[in-house]
Amino acid sequence: MTMYDTTAPAAPVVPTRGRLRPLGLGEVTITDGFWARRQRVNGEATLEHIESRLESEGWLGNFDLAASGKLPAGRRGREFADSEIYKYLEAVAWEIGRRDADASSPLEQRFRAIVARVAAAQEPDGYLNTNFGRPGQRERWSDLEWGHELYCLGHLFQAAVARVRTRPDADDGLIEIARRAAELVCREFGIGGREGICGHAEVEVGLAELGRALGERRFVEQAALFVERHGRGSLRDIEWGRKYYQDDTPVRDADALRGHAVRANYLSAGASDVAVETDDDALLSSLRRQWDRTVERRTYITGGQGSHHQDEAFGDDWELPADRAYSETCAGIGSIMFSWRLLLATGEAAYADLIERTLFNVVATSPAPDGKAFYYANTLHQRVPGIPADPSATSSRASSSLRAPWFEVSCCPPNVARTFASLDAYVATADDDGVQLHQYATGRVRTVLPDGRVVAFDVQTDYPADGRVRITIAQDAEFTLTMRIPTWADGARLVVGGAGEDAAPGTASVRRAFRAGDVIELALPVAPRVTAPDPRVDAVRGCVVVERGPEVLALESVDLGADVGDAVLAGEPVERDGSVVLPVRNRSTDSVSEVPLVAYHDWAQRGPSTMRVWVPTS
């Protein structure tokens, strides 16, 4: 049994340097509220739903066929199907850590059973993929453009990282499976080996973190090699150009994220890790500039990214059609991965702002309340009511269906699951003198600063329904508590020890010798507000969106009693009886009525409807 550094936080990203240190599961525990409800559904329903589909679709069975030498006959699913198993394993590993499930728990047993099936499929030299390399299959690494072999391994590595960080002493074997595969990747693609990259970035971020988790510097260096090789044109040119897989321009020379939105974000996340681990400030600066431009010009009000259906890609600057928003759930998760790494590196609140926007309006939008159906794409304007998805079928990615239980390309459900299972680790960070609260949720924070001070406090809030956040110190200690004040929260107030003060957007810090029982009250103004688009966004000119706190609101036909195409703004939104109502004129009847808005993440939960986020003003 190998032992790893058990002092590292139980978190997906643990850089060796940077402005902030992440707090992992156990240090932060979300106990109630908006995200706790979603985490509960994720743990109780989504994980089982995913495993059952991985089994019934035969994607898990591919590993058994590989082990018994029966492939390629009978292999099922797309070329990247293996990765869904790894993302699921990652989700379960975090869930085990989050619940602190013991070795005899059903969750742990399910995890081990799948790891055993994966292990049996690994080749003696460490290679692991059910789609390549056997008689009757294509050769290993023969289709770097579309084969997704390295992509799948990247997800394997992230699953192993989750295991190292939550159960470093487990004897299930996942960590060694990943190590052997990573060693193979280094042999095959290291200096002097194949000078290729994968058509879908992911191995970079996986290798870098596995290297951090296992203390294997060469994995980080291999990640750096892959990052540097992008933009050299080693991948074949295709209809959408090499920018589709970010092989058009070297990462450090690019000025914005471009091409396939998931690929672009995964690569940027991996490049951020590499920049941090190699002290490459030029690369980090470039990534920050790219983030700035991408958020300013290529990101929906929801935080969603990707406006092309065809290539699941970013459009040009300002090309943000509401009705053809692709805004893939996985691109939102990739964006959070990228932003989180920049936040750890720099400490700047803007990254946490985007994470919050994306969590509430992309990631939370995807799953149905029962956790068993998902949006793959997240349009901002639905003109034709969706149709219920066939529960027994695999749906199209951006079909006209409502949330669907499973997709032929089913990357999003396990991606949501691993994000929810590890969400505690995105709430707060620490530095040498205190703790930074980036997201607001009821729960506990308990950590020890490098000099031994114990920081312990509880958070109580109904956020985002209510903007008040009450922080109660649980143990005497002198430290700095820093709270993010979202950009939208003009007029935020902070009350410490009875004394109130204004808190401007950015961060607000309180440093003192806290006593157990001290209370810090933050009041974020979540009254509905009207937001106009940048005039350079052509698609929503003459429209506004109503937001409330971190939530984007939507107008649904079921509330309007008419098609949302007939709706015109007729006044200011007001809060009434716990919901936001908007005066809306019906263009067809010319009548005005007050229509309740729903949080965008809750749309289409009452059956088929038309919906719009941007409402015309005239």
User: Is 47 exposed, middle or buried, given 0-12, 13-18 or 19+ CB atoms closer than 10 A?
Assistant: buried
**Using CA atoms, how far apart are residues 87 and 110, in angstroms rounded to an integer?**
14
Show the site string, 319-338: x = touches a second copy by CB under 8 A, - = not: x-xxxx--------------
Is 104 a binding residue for a second copy by CB under 8 A? The answer is: no
Is 381 a binding residue for a second copy by CB under 8 A? The answer is: yes
Q: Which of 315, 414, 464, 573 binds a second copy (CB under 8 A)?
A: 315
Among 129-137, 209-217, 237-245, 452-460, which window interacts with a second copy (CB under 8 A)? 237-245
Q: Which of 76, 217, 289, 383 binds a second copy (CB under 8 A)?
A: 383
Q: What dihedral do alpha carbons 287, 288, 294, 299 form, nearest 10°?
A: 120
> Which residues share a beta bridge with 490?
none
Within 10 angstroms of residue 206's Cβ, the number of other Cβ atoms is: 32
Q: For 162, phi and psi rounded to 5 degrees?
A: -60, -40
Distances (CA, A) of 23 to 31, 111, 120, 209, 460: 16, 24, 35, 16, 18
Nearer to a second copy, 319 or 431 (CB): 319
Nearer to a second copy, 5 or 538 (CB): 538
**147 Cβ neighbours under 8 A, 6+ residues apart:** 79, 131, 132, 138, 141, 198, 199
Among 209-217, 315-323, 463-471, 517-525, which window interacts with a second copy (CB under 8 A)? 315-323
**Residue pair 294/314 in contact by the 8 Å Cβ criterion:** yes
**Residue pair 97/103 in contact by the 8 Å Cβ criterion:** no
Among 71-79, 208-216, 238-246, 589-597, which window interacts with a second copy (CB under 8 A)? 238-246
Is 384 a binding residue for a second copy by CB under 8 A? The answer is: yes
Is 278 a binding residue for a second copy by CB under 8 A? The answer is: no
Show the site string, 400-439: x = touches a second copy by CB under 8 A, - = not: x-------x-------------------------------
Least Cβ distance, residue 131 to a second copy (angstroms): 20
Query: If you write DSSP's letter for every residue of 324-350 in order, what string do you get?
Result: T----HHHHHHHHHHHHHHHHHH--HH
Within 10 angstroms of residue 391's Cβ, the number of other Cβ atoms is: 11
Least Cβ distance, residue 582 to a second copy (angstroms): 17
Is 241 a binding residue for a second copy by CB under 8 A? The answer is: yes
Is 236 a binding residue for a second copy by CB under 8 A? The answer is: no
Nearer to a second copy, 102 or 239 (CB): 239
Q: Which of 587, 593, 596, 602 binds a second copy (CB under 8 A)?
A: 587
Is 77 a binding residue for a second copy by CB under 8 A? The answer is: no
Least Cβ distance, residue 317 to a second copy (angstroms): 7
Nearer to a second copy, 154 or 315 (CB): 315
* Coil, strand or helix at 46: helix
Is 249 a binding residue for a second copy by CB under 8 A? The answer is: no
Is 397 a binding residue for a second copy by CB under 8 A? The answer is: yes
**Using CA atoms, how far apart are residues 443 and 441, in angstroms rounded to an integer?**
6
Least Cβ distance, residue 399 to a second copy (angstroms): 7
CA angle 216, 218, 222 (to 5 degrees): 130
Alpha-carbon torsion (602, 603, 604, 608), positive or negative:
positive
Is 260 a binding residue for a second copy by CB under 8 A? The answer is: no
Query: If you write DSSP's letter for every residue of 506-573 in order, what string do you get?
Result: EEEEEEEEE-TT-EEEEE-----EEEPPPTT-GGGTTEEEEEETTEEEEEEHHHHTS-GGGEEE-S--
Tokens of 605: 């939960």
Is 318 a binding residue for a second copy by CB under 8 A? The answer is: yes
Question: What one-letter code names the amino acid at 34?
Answer: F
Is 385 a binding residue for a second copy by CB under 8 A? The answer is: no
Is 571 a binding residue for a second copy by CB under 8 A? The answer is: no
Show the site string, 527-556: x = touches a second copy by CB under 8 A, - = not: --------xx-xxxxxx-------------
**Using CA atoms, how far apart are residues 386 and 515, in angstroms rounded to an integer?**
55
Total residues binding a second copy (CB under 8 A): 36
- Using CB under 8 A as the criterion, which residues of the chain lie in contact with a second copy when the complex forms? 239-241, 307-310, 315-319, 321-324, 381, 383-384, 396-397, 399-400, 408, 535-536, 538-543, 565, 587, 614, 616
